[in-house]
Structure 1
Amino acid sequence: MSLLWTRLAILGLITMAAMQPEISLAADADPLQDFCVKDTNQQLHVNGFPCKDPAQVQASDFASAVLKNPGNTSKGLGVAVTAANALNFAGLNTQGVSVARIDFAKNGLNPPHVHPRASEILFLAQGTLLVGFVTSTPESKLFAQTINAGELFIFPRGLVHFQLNVGYDTAVAFSGFNSQNQGTSQVAKALFASNPPIDDAVLEKALQLSAADVQHLRSLISKT
């Protein structure tokens, strides 16, 4: 994938995330000033991050190379998600947007997960993915589709969704979010690898599993 494709993908995703008024109303609050660069010296716990003194802000605060290099897909499920959000890109603080790079090995899977604070728009720069999400309605309807390089797919806020590499080679995608810190919760890890763990009886009854099955899944998922 060329450097030009990478730059265009990131720019397009940020622009689209910022220009969706009906989505923005349900995401981060509008900023009350031009910028609020995250002050890494402050340890205050607020909804967002404290602002750096504007007199100390530099152009470099609004630039980042965090998505420049591919992630390591050799472990686990064959996927590497690299996020650029307010946690590691100070200039994004209060701007209501963030981006992630997703690298897939052959057959790599970004497992079912949710973003509680943002909708996600994915641009596939390279490869072929099976993507989908499940609604919160009683019937839990699945919307799934295979997409190819150059195509987009939207995952509504807070819904369980996934991406699977079904192509013949690696795949690379870029996702834009209408939040400076979208949050991510993997379904399997939340159930079987929480800290402290969910009581076995809850999982056995809710998922109709035996005690042995629960322990097997705990061991398996904690390793991935």
Structure 2
Amino acid sequence: MATPRNAVRVAGATLLATALLAATPAGAITSENLARLRQDSQFTTEENLRANFDAEDFSVAIADITPTTTPQGAIVSGGLENLAVFGLSSVDSSFTRFTLQPGAHNLAHTHPTASETLFSISGTMDVFFVEANETPRLVQSVLGPESVTVFPEGLIHGERCISDEPCEFISFFNTGDPGVVTVSERFCDLNEEARAAGLFLPQDQVNAICNGLGDNPAPNQPENGQRVLNDGPAPAVLAAQATPTPTPTPARRNNNRRNRRGNNGRSRGRGRRSRRS
């Protein structure tokens, strides 16, 4: 049932249409009258939506968008959140322009509602995505200048600059609102017990790791696995590294293996545990 407001609009449009048709010969509605009919309609057309934008709204200078920067690089994003024209159903797209310094990472992340097409401008990158749990595998390749790769919708992916020169690229998304979930940041939003279970480490060590996370783009990861921030290792990370990790007893280590099998949905590990208990 139509609301009073919609009923008024429909009645108004009907009266306007009747008046226009009476004032013009049959089948001779002018383009001006047709435009008035469309404007007064209860339905909004793409044409009417586009009429809300000036000509300059359909183009954008990337230099005019405020970037997110770290010493490791810069991120410039354009989409529905800051450029409304990208939300039109006839446009429905967005983009991100990245600069990564040599060795820097675009942290592993997902786009919940979009696939991504990445166009490399300069530099050489290590790019990857991870398949879903049902068919786990890492899809990894090296991308040089003027090359293209794709990341399927919703899958974890990322890039690392492996050249001696900065890496620059532009990513295009098939929606104006792709969303982004940075894996490390959102993982650290979990409660302490869930984080510790996810990394199979004591809670204090996982808390120290999460407290020491840097910004994105992030620095390179040295071979020894030590997390390096802009001015050296974070104090919280150093403290975690200085804390000895208890060595599991053989029995505990076997239990850990059984737990992993149980988490994979295999009842065999649970059966063994129940027989020994």
The answer to whether the 8 A contact 2:80-2:176 is kept is: yes
- Aligned residues, how many? 171
Q: How far did residue 222 of structure 1 move?
A: 6.1
In structure 1, what is the equivalent of residue 85 of structure 2? 91
Would the aligned equivalents of 1:86 and 1:92 in 2 still touch at CA under 8 Å? Answer: yes
Distance 1:68 1:168 in 2: 28
Q: 1:160 to 1:73 in 2, by over 3 A?
A: same
In structure 2, the CA distance between the partners of 1:113 and 1:65, relative to structure 1 (3 Å rule), is same
Aligned to 1:180: 176
Q: Structure 1 residue 218 and structure 2 residue 210: aligned?
A: yes
Identity %: 22
SS in 1 for 2:106: strand
Tell me, yes or no, if structure 1 residue 33 matches structure 2 residue 46. yes
TM-score, normalised relative to structure 1: 0.69
- On the 8 A contact 2:65/2:76 being kept in 1, the answer is no
AA matched with 1:83? S
Q: Secondary structure at the residue paired with 1:221?
A: coil
Structure 2 unaligned regions, length at least 5: 1-43, 217-277
Relative to 1, partners in 2 of residues 1:107 and 1:72: Cα closer, same or farther, differing over 3 Å? Answer: farther
Supply the RMSD in Å over aligned alpha carbons. Answer: 2.3
Amino acid at match of 2:97: R
Deviations 1:142-180 (A, max 9, x none): 000001001000000000001000001101000110000
Tell me the TM-score normalized by structure 2. 0.57
In structure 1, the gaps of 5 or more residues are 1-30, 38-53
1:138 partner SS: coil
**Please, which moves more after superposition, 88-97 or 154-163?**
88-97
Q: Tell me which moved more, 149-158 or 65-74.
A: 65-74
Pair 1:177–1:223, CA change in 2 (3 A):
closer
Structure 1 or 2: larger helix share? 2
Q: How does 1:1-224 map to 2 (within 5 A)?
A: 33-34=46-47, 36=49, 54=51, 56-66=52-62, 71=67, 73-75=69-71, 78-94=72-88, 95-192=91-188, 194=189, 198-221=190-213
